[in-house]
Amino acid sequence: MIQNKDITIELNAKRIVALIALVSITLFSAYTYLIALYAFDAPSRDLPLQVITLEILENNVTQSSFSIGDTVTLNSTIEKALSYMYFPFSYEYFNFSGVTPFKLIITIEDASHQPVLIYSLDGSIATGGIKEYSVDYPILSGSSKGVYTVNVLLWSDWLSDGYALAPEAEVGTFNVV
């Protein structure tokens, strides 16, 4: 025969404080673990930045096709890594610190691969920082129709002294009809 026994837990001030401390430590640990999982770790010491997003918009709405006379807005978001880790073959680890100056370069090529926009700006970003930039490109009356290609690059300076600060360019396309 199974007997049902009631379990009684008495909570006094000391136990409530201990329970709150335990829950706080657990939540803080879970939060920092998830942040670390989703943090950007650079692929090398020489490439501390990355382009997170490239959005192609018109009037704050994502578009893939535009007409002559429209204005294309290019929103790009960049991020600086917290660290560089290389564990599979060695235990190399490097924490980035300080501010990294960069040159953001945005290019647009038309359907015949002719450059129609080369835009650049100088900026700087701190470790773990995220910055957003926006550029408008008006499609002029003499523009050709077809698929246009957008490239967002992060460099230290113009060539020949410059070098890439991001592992790859962010590429997007839109159609001019």
Residue 28 and residue 36 in contact, taking contact as beta carbons nearer than 8 Å: no
Beta bridge partners of 155: 103, 164
pLDDT digits (tens, 9 = 90+) for 6-31: 888 788 899 899 999 999 999 999 88
Question: Which of these CATH numbers, 1.10.10.10, 3.30.70.270, 3.30.70.360, 2.60.40.1930, describes 41-176?
Answer: 2.60.40.1930
Residue type, 117: L
DSSP class of residue 97?
Answer: -
Tokens of 117: 């926009």
Give the pLDDT confidence score for residue 44 in this predicted structure.
79
Which one, of 39, 73, 40, lies nearest residue 58 by Cα?
73
Query: For each of the chain's 177 residues, which pLDDT tens digit applies?
Result: 677 788 887 888 998 999 999 999 999 998 877 776 666 777 778 899 999 999 999 988 999 999 999 999 999 999 999 888 766 666 667 788 889 999 999 999 999 999 999 999 999 999 989 999 999 999 999 999 999 999 999 999 998 888 999 999 999 999 999
Q: Rounded to an integer, what distance in angstroms lies between the CA atom of residue 59 and that of residue 126?
A: 30
Q: Rounded to an integer, what distance in angstroms lies between the CA atom of residue 4 and that of residue 6?
A: 7
H helix or E strand, kind and range, residue 16? helix 13-38
Q: What angle do CA 162, 163, 165 make, to 5 degrees?
A: 125
Domain boundaries of the chain, sorted by first residue: 41-176
